Structure formats: C-alpha cells, structure tokens
Structure 1
C-alpha cells in the first residue's frame, strides 16, 4: 500500500483517481495545485505523487524542480498524468524526476499497471 498525493486542478479527476487508487488499497490525499502540493508534502511526504502535466500558474515542471529539493531518502515516486501521448513531454518529465507516466483518462487497470511498475502492489480492500 502506498500513500499517494493526487495533484490535479480538476476536482473530478482528483476524485476519479482517488476512488481508483483507494480501490487498489492505497491511501489518498489530494491537492488542487502546486502551492497546495508543496504544503501537503511539508505536512507529510507521500510515497507517490500523481502529478497532472497541465497545472495552472506553476506547471508540472516547476513542481518537479521543487521536488528535486526534497531530501533524497524521502522523495516520492512521481507519476506524470497527461492527456497527450507526447514523447517530448515524457522525456522532459523523466529528466526532471518523473520516471513514470499514465495517460488520461485512465482506468483501474492503467493505474494498477503504473503503480506496479513504480514498485507498489495493490492491497486487498476489506
């Protein structure tokens, strides 16, 4: 089970991702934007950061740059969420610290797959 922080400016996307991840046995917190993300990380570093590429004001690359300043042993695994299958975008994100990505709209299977690739197995939900 992983402690996940979902970062997306869309409440609907946060809710969908939250339900899917909770259904896979992971714990979930949400942040609507970059500032809330950094605040949530200060309160308690997540194991996984599900990060939307298209954030208002401060974009995903800015969040990734800020995450690079987190202590190495506490840095979350970052999974980029994108609406376009753009190899350049994924390369930029990987170089900035997001080694995994998932395309929106995602479903239970695509989230299960990316979480497994990131090293987090699902847990049975009672």
Structure 2
C-alpha cells in the first residue's frame, strides 16, 4: 500500500451526509474523492476510478454496504482494496461483523467532521502496518 492516501471512493445514498463528508474529505483532507450514491454505481465506477480506499455506508437501498463489499471483492484487482464502513449500526457485535467481512475499520455515525480525515488516515495507516 502506498504511504500516502490520496484517492477515495465514497459510497453514500444520503445526499445531506454525502455533502458534509465530501466537503470534509476534499477541503480539510485534501483527498481526491469520487462519490457514488449506490452500491451498483460503486461497482460500475470502481475499476476505472481505481481508488486507494473505499469509504462506504452500511445501510443503503437495493444493495447494502456488506453486499457491495462482497461484489467488489469479486472484481479484478480489488480483493485487497481497503474498505471502511460508516454506519449508525455500530454496536460491538455489528462492528465485529463488518471487520469479519474484510473492512479495515468502522466509523460511527454521527461522526465529527473535524476529526473524520484524521480517523480515515489512522485506519489507513493501521491497515498498511498490518500488510507489512
């Protein structure tokens, strides 16, 4: 994994949350971020966009986050792509389930926009340390 995180795919169906997260990640974090509003849109976009990390909502209509992650893992060169889930469904057993699916971390909603970038970078760094 490269040392510096720069390019993210963000999957969130709630436009008001997406606006806050995009502003935070782009303006405060300096990341290049592509937003998808559904799991299917993420699948249609991810290979061509080639993100370093996916930040994804768990509860979405149609295809939820865990199913989207499962489908991402079936795509060429996406088996080890780091994924962070963002969710309000964040009891300990739920977080363990998401980690068991292969996510590198869980960010609990509601989140603090002022610390979101730091939290994403910390999870990215921990995942990189695990890979070494």
**Equivalent residues in 2 for 1:40-119 (5 A)?**
40-72=45-77, 75-106=80-111, 107-119=113-125
Pair 1:32 & 2:37 matched? yes
TM-score with structure 1 length normalisation? 0.84
Count of paired positions: 120
C-alpha root-mean-square deviation of aligned residues, in Å? 1.9
SS in 1 for 2:125: coil
TM-score by length of 2: 0.80
From the superposition, tell whether residues 111 and 16 of structure 1 become closer, same or farther in structure 2 (CA, over 3 Å): same
More helix by share: 2
Q: Distance in 1 between matches of 2:72 and 2:55?
A: 13
Q: Deviations over 1:2-61 (max 9, x none)?
A: 211110111111111111111211111100001100011022221111110101111111
Which structure 2 segments of 5+ residues have no match?
127-132
Unpaired stretches in structure 1, ≥5 consecutive residues: 121-126
- Alignment match, 1:20: 24
